[in-house]
């Protein structure tokens, strides 16, 4: 049994988690940063291709604010959008470029190259070729290695948040406000559970892509932080708003990957199976650069109309003058080549896929949740910036802004040491059922979960589909919970338990909201 004590505990090592850790450490506090993956780089941040928003050409904070609000389809939180539009661009310049040393692509005269993505009225996106997330993540982790008061542990999976109501041996604490005091975490290699006690805990565990059959997210996106925070008693919100990216590479094999919206920003057009451009029909103003939810539904419609499993994205024949496709999009070029598609010569087969979660743990201006001692940042949180539909390249920006704000606030958190001695260590199950270790049980549960979410809680929802989803996911939830209780813990089982809990919440929120807004599209 191992007990660790720290001042600030950060769970998750993408842009928001790393920024929180670096910011909190600057106050001199001891920070413990954990990630469940073996490779510290693995996170949704790593796969972000498009870029990060700043103030571009002929641009202002006010215009950026307007664009984010419009994409959010009327339910973005104006205060949160103002925070991000005001603080984000200078944080990119001062913190990411200045302090961390992140590089962004430049023009031949040394100025930054700004690109454009859907629903932006200005060219204002900084990028590092088509590997922006990779560059940011690499530089943040390099910085963290140099900071003495940050301890970084990979291969540690958070299981549950520790709270004064749920885990203290002192029964009188039930009469006081509940308080988050850290988390229990599984050492993936040994199977031992650590009691990690902290004055402030920041959840930065990313999105939920693995809950859907088709997603641009890596396998680690299992909604862990949202599920843990909910179990601990924090409020979650906007859970019905799951954003689908219009263009993921289509292949009959498993290997599918994001085809950045920036290709359309550089001129690329969508074509249906018959080779016809079609976006004018759906959005006269924006055409191929319409907001994501609109493009996604247009593609869905064209696929159904032409009885095809995909549409095409053609940059080869529509690229802007002087664009060298291979130089601008080296990552996408190489990946497509592996599938024998030369994007300089031919169109790319694409389909929509789950991409980003606009809901999550409800947070205030400093990443503070409704559970004292607990903060949430990045994709696992909901500040309300994205409303019902996120504007392109604002996710890294929001992670950065709230990562910094939560890091500052957490470093000023009151001491909770007096509560630590009464916190119980993890109780391992007594009646282990070793037949539960069959990996096919987990695989099949995921298959059921993912196909139910894709077909019933996907791009186009109906009441009948959602009712079925609630019922099927409810049954699966009961079975997985029972299975989880009587088995030895593994990372895979923890993820499955979190995944099914979040899937249930998404289906329930979606069924209760019969108004189609942004990416929650429900047909009468
Ligand atoms: C993309 O490159 O299309 C994705 C960018 C984003 O999700 O903001």
For 444, the token pair is 């099949």
275 burial type by CB count under 10 A (0-12 exposed, 13-18 middle, 19+ buried): exposed
pLDDT computed for residue 432 by the predictor: 75
- 409 CA to centre of own chain: 22
Asked if the model's pLDDT at residue 168 lies above 80, the reply is yes
Atom of ligand 1 nearest to the CA of 391: 8
Confidence category of residue 288, pLDDT binned at 50, 70, 90: very high
Residue 434 within a domain = no
Tell me if 44 CB under 6 Å of ligand 1. Answer: no
Residue 11: what are its φ and ψ, rounded to 5°?
A: -110, 105
**Of 153, 186, 129, nearest to 40 (Cα)?**
153
Sign for the CA dihedral angle at 414, 418, 423, 425 comes to positive
- Check whether residue 163 and residue 46 sit in a common domain: yes
- Check whether residue 337 and residue 386 sit in a common domain: no
Atom of ligand 1 nearest to the CA of 247: 3
Average pLDDT over residues 324-343: 96
Q: What is the DSSP letter of 418?
A: G
Residue 293 within a domain = yes
Distance CA 485, CA 160 (A): 13
**Of 420, 444, 430, 443, nearest to 488 (Cα)?**
430
Tell me if 45 CB under 6 Å of ligand 1. Answer: no
Distance CA 294, CA 246 (A): 9
Average pLDDT over residues 409-419: 97
Q: How far is the CA of 392 from the centre of ligand 1 (A)?
A: 5
Distance CA 45, CA 131 (A): 10
Asked if the model's pLDDT at residue 194 lies above 90, the reply is yes
Selected catalytic residue, list 116, 292, 297, 328: 292
Tell me if 262 CB under 6 Å of ligand 1. Answer: yes
Confidence category of residue 487, pLDDT binned at 50, 70, 90: confident
| DSSP-assigned beta bridge partners for residue 279 | none
Residue 216: what are its φ and ψ, rounded to 5°?
A: -90, -5
Choose the final residue of a domain: 393, 422, 451: 422
pLDDT computed for residue 252 by the predictor: 84
Atom of ligand 1 nearest to the CA of 51: 5
pLDDT computed for residue 165 by the predictor: 98
- Check whether residue 308 and residue 174 sit in a common domain: no
- Check whether residue 83 and residue 231 sit in a common domain: yes
Choose the final residue of a domain: 309, 336, 353: 353
Q: How far is the CA of 121 from the centre of ligand 1 (A)?
A: 16
Distance CA 99, CA 97 (A): 6
Kindly report the pTM of this predicted structure: 0.96
Are 141 and 176 in contact, with CB atoms under 8 Å apart? no
Distance CA 171, CA 121 (A): 57
Confidence category of residue 483, pLDDT binned at 50, 70, 90: confident
Integer-rounded Cα Rg, in Å, for the chain is 22
Confidence category of residue 430, pLDDT binned at 50, 70, 90: confident
Are 407 and 22 in contact, with CB atoms under 8 Å apart? yes
pLDDT in tens, 98-149: 999 999 999 999 999 999 999 999 999 999 999 999 999 999 999 999 999 9
- Check whether residue 405 and residue 456 sit in a common domain: no
Q: What is the CATH number of the domain that holds 338?
A: 3.90.700.10
pLDDT computed for residue 428 by the predictor: 84
Distance CA 198, CA 157 (A): 16
What are the helix (H) ranges across 175-307? 224-232, 262-265, 279-282, 292-305
pLDDT computed for residue 187 by the predictor: 97
pLDDT computed for residue 317 by the predictor: 97
Strands in 124-233 per DSSP E: 125-126, 150-153, 156-163, 180-187, 193-203
Strand 269-271 and strand 311-314: the pairing is antiparallel
Q: What is the CATH number of the domain that holds 453?
A: 1.20.58.100
- 165 CA to centre of own chain: 29
- Check whether residue 219 and residue 131 sit in a common domain: yes
Residue 132 within a domain = yes
Give the residue, by CA position, lying nearest to ligand 1 atom 4: 50
- Check whether residue 27 and residue 96 sit in a common domain: yes
Residue for token pair 């402030």 = 200
- Respond yes or no: is residue 292 known to be catalytic: yes
Residue 430 within a domain = no
For a substitution probing ligand 1, which of 117, 332, 348 has the most ligand atoms within 8 Å of its CB?
Answer: 117
Distance CA 364, CA 370 (A): 8
Strand 2-11 and strand 31-34: the pairing is parallel
Tell me if 50 CB under 6 Å of ligand 1. Answer: yes
Distance CA 415, CA 145 (A): 26
Confidence category of residue 433, pLDDT binned at 50, 70, 90: confident
Residue 427 within a domain = no
Q: How far is the CA of 49 from the centre of ligand 1 (A)?
A: 6
Residue 454 within a domain = yes
Strand 269-271 and strand 31-34: the pairing is unpaired
Q: How far is the CA of 56 from the centre of ligand 1 (A)?
A: 17
Distance CA 163, CA 489 (A): 20
Tell me the three state secondary structure of residue 381: strand
Are 15 and 197 in contact, with CB atoms under 8 Å apart? no
pLDDT computed for residue 161 by the predictor: 98
pLDDT computed for residue 95 by the predictor: 98
- Check whether residue 257 and residue 377 sit in a common domain: no
Q: How many domains, in total, are found in the chain? A: 3
Asked if the model's pLDDT at residue 1 lies above 70, the reply is no
pLDDT computed for residue 200 by the predictor: 98
- Check whether residue 229 and residue 159 sit in a common domain: yes
Residue 518 within a domain = no
Q: If you write DSSP's letter for every residue of 38-86 in order, what string do you get?
A: SSTT-STGGG--S-EE---TT--HHHHHHHHHHHTTT-S-HHHHHHHHH
Distance CA 229, CA 376 (A): 9
Average model confidence (pLDDT) across the chain: 96
Residue 523 within a domain = no
- Check whether residue 99 and residue 215 sit in a common domain: yes
pLDDT in tens, 362-393: 999 999 999 999 999 999 999 999 999 999 99
Tell me if 392 CB under 6 Å of ligand 1. Answer: yes
Q: How far is the CA of 501 from the centre of ligand 1 (A)?
A: 27
Are 286 and 118 in contact, with CB atoms under 8 Å apart? yes
Choose the final residue of a domain: 353, 376, 410: 353
- Check whether residue 379 and residue 336 sit in a common domain: no
- Check whether residue 72 and residue 216 sit in a common domain: yes
Asked if the model's pLDDT at residue 88 lies above 80, the reply is yes
Of 136-140, 177-181, 254-258, 339-343, the least confident: 254-258
Q: What is the CATH number of the domain that holds 213?
A: 3.50.50.60
Asked if the model's pLDDT at residue 183 lies above 70, the reply is yes
Structural domain including 379 reads 2-241+358-422
pLDDT computed for residue 253 by the predictor: 78
pLDDT in tens, 466-475: 999 999 999 9
């Amino acid at each position: 049994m191992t007990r660790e004590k720290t001042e600030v505990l950060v769970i998750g090592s993408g842009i928001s988690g790393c920024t929180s850790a670096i910011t909190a450490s600057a106050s001199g506090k001891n920070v413990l940063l954990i990630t469940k993956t073996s490779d510290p780089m693995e996170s949704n941040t790593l796969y972000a291709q498009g870029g990060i928003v700043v103030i571009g050409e002929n641009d202002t904070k006010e215009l950026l604010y307007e664009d984010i609000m419009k994409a959010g389809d009327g339910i973005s939180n104006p205060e949160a959008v103002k925070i991000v539009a005001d603080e984000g661009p200078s944080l990119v310049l001062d913190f990411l470029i200045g302090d961390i040393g992140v590089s962004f692509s430049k023009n031949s005269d040394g100025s930054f190259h700004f690109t454009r993505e859907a629903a932006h009225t200005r060219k204002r996106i900084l990028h590092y070729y088509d590997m922006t997330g990779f560059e940011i993540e690499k530089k943040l982790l390099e910085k963290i290695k140099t900071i003495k008061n940050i301890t970084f542990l990979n291969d540690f999976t958070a299981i549950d948040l520790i709270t004064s109501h749920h885990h203290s041996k002192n029964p009188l604490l039930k009469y006081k406000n509940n308080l988050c005091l850290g988390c229990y975490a599984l050492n993936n290699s040994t199977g031992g559970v650590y009691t990690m006690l902290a004055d402030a805990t920041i959840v930065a565990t990313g999105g939920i892509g693995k809950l859907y059959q088709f997603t641009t997210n890596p396998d680690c996106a299992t909604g862990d932080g949202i599920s843990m925070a909910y179990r601990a008693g924090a409020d979650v919100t906007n859970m019905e708003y799951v954003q689908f990216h219009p263009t993921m590479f289509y292949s009959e094999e498993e290997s599918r990957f994001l085809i950045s919206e920036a290709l359309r920003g550089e001129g690329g057009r969508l074509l249906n199976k018959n080779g016809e451009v079609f976006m004018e029909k759906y959005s006269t103003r924006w055409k191929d650069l319409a907001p994501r939810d609109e493009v996604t539904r247009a593609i869905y419609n064209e696929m159904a109309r032409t009885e095809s499993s995909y549409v095409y994205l053609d940059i080869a024949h529509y690229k802007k003058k002087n664009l060298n496709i291979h130089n601008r999009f080296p990552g996408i070029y190489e990946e497509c080549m592996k599938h024998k598609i030369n994007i300089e010569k031919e169109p790319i087969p694409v389909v929509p896929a789950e991409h980003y979660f606009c809901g999550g743990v409800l947070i205030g201006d400093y990443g503070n949740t409704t559970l004292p001692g607990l903060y949430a940042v990045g994709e696992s949180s909901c500040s309300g910036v994205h409303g019902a539909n996120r504007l392109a390249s604002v996710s890294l920006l929001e992670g950065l802004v709230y990562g910094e704000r939560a890091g500052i606030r957490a470093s000023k958190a009151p001491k909770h040491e007096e509560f630590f001695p009464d916190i119980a260590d993890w109780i391992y199950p007594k009646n282990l059922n070793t037949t539960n270790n069959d990996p096919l049980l987990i695989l099949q549960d995921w298959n059921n979960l993912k196909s139910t979410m894709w077909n019933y809680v996907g791009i186009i929802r109906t009441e009948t589909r959602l009712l079925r989803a609630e019922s099927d996911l409810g049954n699966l939830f009961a079975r997985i919970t029972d299975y989880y209780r009587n088995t030895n813990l593994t990372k895979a089982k923890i993820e499955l338990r979190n995944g099914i809990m979040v899937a249930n919440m998404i289906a329930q929120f979606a069924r209760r909201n019969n108004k189609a807004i942004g990416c929650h599209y429900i047909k009468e």
